[in-house]
Structure 1
C-alpha cells in the first residue's frame, strides 16, 4: 500500500489526498497512491487541517496529540503521522 507506511518507531505515516469543503467528513477510498478524505471544513485559517487531525484521531481511537501533520500544510496532498494506531484499523477505514 503506497498510502500507508509503518515507521521504525512504530508510528504510522499516511499519504493523503484531501478534498476540503465537502458535504460531510468521510474517507472516499483511494486516489492514486493516496487515501482520499473529504472534509466538511473549509480550507481557511487551518480549519481543514484541524478537522483532518481530529477526524483521524477519532477514527483510530488515539488522542489528538498522537496525530501530527508532517507535510502539506497548504496542499491537498498531505503526510500525517499517527502514534499508537493499529494498521488493521487504518486498512479497514480505507476499505469501508
Structure 2
C-alpha cells in the first residue's frame, strides 16, 4: 500500500497529476466538485498514473476537502 497526499484543483482546463518537490501531489481535474464527480475523476487519474485499477485507489481522508490522503494498492 502506498499513501499519497493530493491537493485537488477542480474546474481546470486539463486533467493532470503532478508531483511536487516536497513529495505531495497536485491534481487538476476538469470536473466540478458536485456529486462526487471531481473525486471520481481524481481516482481515475491516480489509477492511470500508478498503473493500477480504479478499484485499487481509495480516498482515506479529505473526501469533501481540497487536500486528500489517497491510498493506492500496489
Would the aligned equivalents of 1:72 and 1:78 in 2 still touch at CA under 8 Å?
Answer: yes
Long gaps (5+) in structure 2: none
TM-score, with structure 2 as normaliser: 0.90
CA RMSD of aligned residues (A): 1.6
Higher relative contact order (CA 8 A, sep 6+): 2
Query: What is the distance in 2 between the residues matched to 1:15 and 1:29?
Result: 10
Residue 70 of structure 2: aligned partner: 80
Task: Give the 3-state SS of the residue equivalent to 1:52 in structure 2.
Answer: helix
Instruction: Could you list the structure 1 runs, at least 4 aligned residues long, displaced by more than 3 angstroms after superposition.
Output: none
Q: State the aligned residue count.
A: 74
Long gaps (5+) in structure 1: 1-10, 85-96
TM-score, with structure 1 as normaliser: 0.70
More helix by share: 1
Query: What is the distance in 2 between the residues matched to 1:63 and 1:83?
Result: 9
Residues 5-84 of structure 1 aligned to structure 2 (within 5 Å): 11-30=1-20, 34-84=24-74
